Chains A and B, each alone.
Chain A
Amino acid sequence: MQKFVGKVRISEILIWIFLIILTAFVVIPILFMVVASFMDAKQILAMPFSWIPSKKYFTSADRTFFTNFVKAIRGNNNQGTFPRNVLNSLIVALSCAATTVILASLCGYGLAKFKFRGRNFVFISIMATMMIPFEAIMIPLYMVTQGFHMINTYWGLIVPFMVSAFGVFQMRQYLLTFPSEYLDAARVDGLGEFRIFWRIVFPNCTPVIATLGILSFRNQWDNLLWPLLVAQSETMKTIPQYITKFAEEKLTDEGAMMAVAFLASIPMFILFFSLSRYFLGGAAVYESRKG
Chain B
Amino acid sequence: MALMLKSKDKTVSTKTKEKAVSNERIKPKRYSIERKEARWGFVFTIPCLVFFAIFAFYPIIYAFITSLTDRRAISRTWSFSGLENYIYIFTKDNGGFPLSNSIRATLVFTLGTFIPMIIISLIVAVFLMQLRKNRQRAFFQFVYYTPAVLSSVVAATIWMILFDPRGLVNQFSNFVLGTSGVDYNWLVNSTMLQISTMLVYFWKYIGYFVILFITGLAAIPPTIYEAATVDGASRWKSFWRITLPLLKPTTVMVSIMAMLQCLKTFSTQYMFHQGGAARRPIDVITMNIYFTGIRNGRLGRACAMSIVLFCIMLILSYLQLAFTRSAEEVEY
Contact = CB atoms under 8 A, between A and B. Distances in A.
Contact of B130 (A12, A135, A138, A269): A12
Contact of A111 (B45, B274, B299): B45
Contact of B127 (A18, A197, A222): A18
Given A110-B40, A132-B310, A140 B51 contact: no
Interface of B: 34, 37-45, 47-49, 51-52, 54-60, 62-63, 66, 123-124, 127-128, 130-131, 140-155, 157-162, 164, 166-168, 171, 203, 206-208, 211-212, 214-216, 235, 249-250, 253, 257, 260, 263-264, 266-267, 270-271, 274-276, 285-286, 289-290, 293-294, 299, 302-303, 306-307, 309-310, 313-314, 317, 324, 327-328
B302 to A, nearest CB: 5
A150 B193 CA distance: 37
Contacts of B275: 247-248, 251
Contacts of A80: none
B82 to A, nearest CB: 19
Contacts of A287: 212, 215-216, 250, 253
A257 B206 CA distance: 25
A23 B203 CA distance: 11
A30 B147 CA distance: 8
B149 A133 contact: no
11 contacts: A11-B235, A18-B123, A29-B158, A45-B167, A103-B48, A115-B38, A116-B39, A136-B313, A193-B43, A254-B161, A283-B145
B153 A159 contact: no
Interface string A92-110: 0000000000011011011
Nearest to B200: A29
A14 B2 CA distance: 91
A272 B150 CA distance: 10
B270 A45 contact: no
Contact of B294 (A104, A106, A229): A229
* 3 closest residue pairs by CB, A with B: A110-B44, A114-B41, A116-B38
Interface in A143-182: 143-144, 159-160, 162-163, 165, 168
B45 A110 contact: yes
Interface stretch (A61-69, A122-130, A204-212): A122-130
A129 B57 contact: yes
Contacts of A279: 145, 149
Nearest to B130: A15
Given A29-B162, A114-B37, A258-B161, A126 B52 contact: yes
A32 B163 CA distance: 12
A288 B141 CA distance: 19
B147 A29 contact: yes
A19 B41 contact: no
B310 A136 contact: yes
Contacts of B327: 290
A168 B158 contact: no
A106 B271 contact: no
B230 to A, nearest CB: 15
Nearest to B205: A283
Contacts of A290: 249, 253, 324, 327-328
Contacts of B55: 141, 144, 159-160, 162
B158 A32 contact: yes
A143 B63 CA distance: 10
A163 B51 contact: yes
Contacts of A268: 149-151
A157 to B, nearest CB: 13
A106 B314 contact: no
Contacts of B270: 224, 244
Given A23-B140, A287-B250, A139 B38 contact: no
A82 interface: no
Contacts of B317: 130-131
Contact of A110 (B41, B171, B253): B41
Contacts of B38: 114-117
A22 B41 contact: no
Given A243-B154, A254-B161, A228 B51 contact: no
Contact of A225 (B142, B267, B302): B267
B48 A272 contact: no
